[in-house]
């Protein structure tokens, strides 16, 4: 809980509403790298959003590939 409490309030808020189970350590790593580059807290939040969206997109793609493999009739090219 200390790792969570040590994060800035906006990052804690973002983390508590995230779609994925982010760890405070992961957020802190992104925060530190962004701050070292001189990025603002708003930039950090945008960076977290982008990282989450990228992960969700990758998961959706993997999920659709698994479904297509399990159900050949659902593949896009099945109408040929």
Measured CA to CA in angstroms, residue 51 lies from 22, 28, 54, 64 at distances of 11, 13, 5, 20
Q: For 42-46, 51-55, 57-61, 68-72, which range has the lowest pLDDT when averaged over its residues?
A: 68-72
Closest CA to 29 of 14, 44, 17: 44
Q: What is the pLDDT of residues 8-39, one digit of tens each?
A: 999 999 999 999 999 999 999 999 999 999 99
Domain positions in the chain are 2-71
The pTM of the full predicted model, rounded to 2 decimals, is 0.70
Average pLDDT, the chain: 84
The residue among 53 and 70 whose pLDDT is bigger is 53
Q: Is the dihedral of CA 39, 45, 50, 52 positive or negative?
A: positive
73 pLDDT above the threshold of 90 = no
Collapsing DSSP to helix, strand or coil, 24 comes out as helix
């Amino acid at each position: 809980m200390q790792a969570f409490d040590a994060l800035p309030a906006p990052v804690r808020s973002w983390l508590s509403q995230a779609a994925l189970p982010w760890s405070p350590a992961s957020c802190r790593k992104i925060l530190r790298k962004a701050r070292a580059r001189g990025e603002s807290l708003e930039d950090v939040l945008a960076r977290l959003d982008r990282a989450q969206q990228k992960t969700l997109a990758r998961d959706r793609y993997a999920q659709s590939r698994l479904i297509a493999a399990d159900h050949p009739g659902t593949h896009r090219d099945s109408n040929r």
